[in-house]
Amino acid sequence: MAAIEISDLSKQFGSVTALQNLDLTVEEGEVFGFLGPNGAGKSTTIDILLNHVRPTAGSARVFGMDVQDESIPVRERTGVLPEGYGPLGRMTGHKHVEFALQAKRADGDPQAILDRVGIAGAADRRVEDYSKGMKQRLMLGMALAGDPDLLVLDEPTTGLDPNGARRMRQIVQAEAERDTTVFFSSHILEQVEAVCDRVGILNQGHLVAVDTIDGLRETAGATGQIRVAMASIPDGLIETVQDRDGVTSVAVEGTTLVVGCENAAKGAVVSDCYGAGIVEDVETSEASLEDLFVSYTGGEN
């Protein structure tokens, strides 16, 4: 059974389309990264899984249970770090975790959980006085309470310092090792890259790519960029290069020609330049995942 099964899910907020015909399956035990720029629909998807928001069309199931009709059983098995959270009343950190454990009907040592997320020292302070990063850690701790089968983390590293982000990654990895399914959203690629088995890229409510990190790397690696610095750009060179097979873009920066192309076309581009004028330097690079992410999400500008 899949941990998360989303089929043909759409959500309309008034005239704004937040999600359109989303189909996505996350297998049990998988660490799935949900990538996309702000406003792509990641939080809306998560909100639908938690029944905070109701879909306009389509359905979603978690461990086979409908997220609307069986929301409570879904959330009993799910640990959540929601977006836009706020502290619970005026309780201390310790009380927060205790409260989450009680809600999950789970035994567990709040102090051990706080220790795990690195805020054991602040256990007896009121959470309203916590810093942003400490609140984030606490929310992760509450998500971990009761050893959930699914962790849903919405932008979990927001507000964390590098140490915090690293601990977050370690916790995700540790949870993955004990077969917890992890579904986490981010607009920052590196965080997903480091821990995820598979990645889905969402843009303007559409799922534009779903692949393993390696698969994405392969896609990215097949294309690249070449920069040819010349004494001057001869007339007609740009047109010649543009007509080559495999060339996707040609730009000029000063007297440097910047060509986006498949790796196989790079040699031909360089020889065109040698034939037309004086070449001073050649630099070639493969596209990074970052470039790929940017190209999928239309952020070239």
Partner 1 sequence: MDRLLQIARKDFTDAIRDRQLYALGALFLLVGLGIGYLAGSNPDTARGVDVPRIGLGAMAFLGSVAAISMSYNQIVGKRASGELRVLLSLPFSRTEVVYGTFLGRLVLVVAMTTTSIAIAGVLAAALGAPVSASALLAAVVFAAGLMAVFVSLSIGLSAGSVNTTRAAAGAFGLFIVFLFRLWEGVPVAVRYVLNGFSFPSGPSPTWAMVWRQIQPIAAVRNVIAGVEPDLTVALVAYAPGLPDGEPYYAEPWFGAIIVIAWIVLPVTLGYLKLRTADL
CB nearer to partner 1: give 91 or 194: 91
Q: How far is the CB of 85 from partner 1 (least distance, A)?
A: 5
Q: How far is the CB of 41 from partner 1 (least distance, A)?
A: 14
What is the Rg, in whole angstroms, of the alpha carbon atoms belonging to the chain? 24
CB nearer to partner 1: give 84 or 236: 84
Q: How buried is 17 (Cβ within 10 angstroms: 0-12 exposed, 13-18 middle, 19+ buried)?
A: middle
Which residues bind to partner 1, rule: CB under 8 A? Answer: 13, 47, 50-54, 71-73, 75-76, 80, 82-91, 99-100, 102-104, 139, 142
CB nearer to partner 1: give 107 or 239: 107
Q: How far is the CB of 162 from partner 1 (least distance, A)?
A: 25
What whole-number distance in Å separates Cα of residue 262 and Cα of residue 226? 10
CB nearer to partner 1: give 127 or 276: 127
What whole-number distance in Å separates Cα of residue 231 and Cα of residue 272? 15
Closest CA to 266 of 228, 299, 232: 228
Q: How far is the CB of 251 from partner 1 (least distance, A)?
A: 44
CB nearer to partner 1: give 22 or 257: 22
Q: How far is the CB of 145 from partner 1 (least distance, A)?
A: 9
Cβ proximity of 148 and 140 under 8 Å: no
What whole-number distance in Å separates Cα of residue 40 and Cα of residue 188? 13
What whole-number distance in Å separates Cα of residue 135 and Cα of residue 129? 9
Cβ proximity of 44 and 204 under 8 Å: no
Mark out the alpha helices in 50-123 (DSSP H runs): 71-76, 93-103, 110-116
CB nearer to partner 1: give 88 or 252: 88
Q: How far is the CB of 12 from partner 1 (least distance, A)?
A: 11
